[in-house]
Amino acid sequence: MTDTALKQIAQIQKLPVEALREKWEVLFGTEAPAYSRPFLVKRLAYRIQELAHGGLSQQTRERVQKIAEDNGLDEMAALPQGQPKKKGMPVVGTRLIREWNGGRYEVIVVRDGFEFEGKKYRSLTAITKVITGTHWNGPAFFGLRQNGKAK
């Protein structure tokens, strides 16, 4: 079974997006979400392994759920009503890490903005100004954009 799973994972890495979406429907039984190719490949690879080796045990799932609830992360994927996810921005809970001028800076994406050093900010640009002392494009500073375009 492991050999077959490894072969399937190697094969999906070469597939075009349409074929990945078809594979998604086979493995998940639902229509593929409108995610990027790299995300589809990673999630399909996980699903192939999950089917071959089994998923997380019930005990592990319960423990993860408890940890999430204890840290206020039980609704990480939910967005406030009427507030769609901004294009090119990572999902809630994502950690953005940037090394700059010898320092390591970590930002956490939260429901209504970003958290940096225990303080909430509405934009990455505001955080970037705190870090650098000057105005920079926040998404570009944290590697979310390249040449003005979302990655």
| Residues 55-96: tens digit of each pLDDT | 878 898 888 888 877 776 655 444 443 344 566 678 778 899
Q: Give the pLDDT of residue 146.
A: 64
Residue 47 lies in a domain: yes
Residue 82 lies in a domain: no
Q: Give the pLDDT of residue 151.
A: 54
Task: Report the distance separating Cα 111 and Cα 76, nearest Å.
Answer: 8
Q: Give the pLDDT of residue 55.
A: 80
Q: Give the pLDDT of residue 82.
A: 35
103-110 sheet: strands from edge to edge? 95-100, 103-110, 113-116, 119-121
pLDDT above 50: residue 122: yes
> Which domain, by its residues, includes 144?
95-150
Residue 100 lies in a domain: yes
| Residues 16-69: tens digit of each pLDDT | 999 999 999 998 888 888 888 999 999 999 989 988 888 878 898 888 888 877
Residue 11 lies in a domain: yes
Q: Give the pLDDT of residue 144.
A: 84
Residue 137 lies in a domain: yes
Residue 79 lies in a domain: no
Residue 59 lies in a domain: no
Task: Report the distance separating Cα 151 and Cα 138, nearest Å.
Answer: 14
Residue 90 lies in a domain: no
Do 48 and 8 form a contact (C-beta atoms < 8 A)?
Answer: yes
Q: How many domains, in total, are found in the chain?
A: 2
The last residue of one of the domains, among 53, 71, 86, is 53
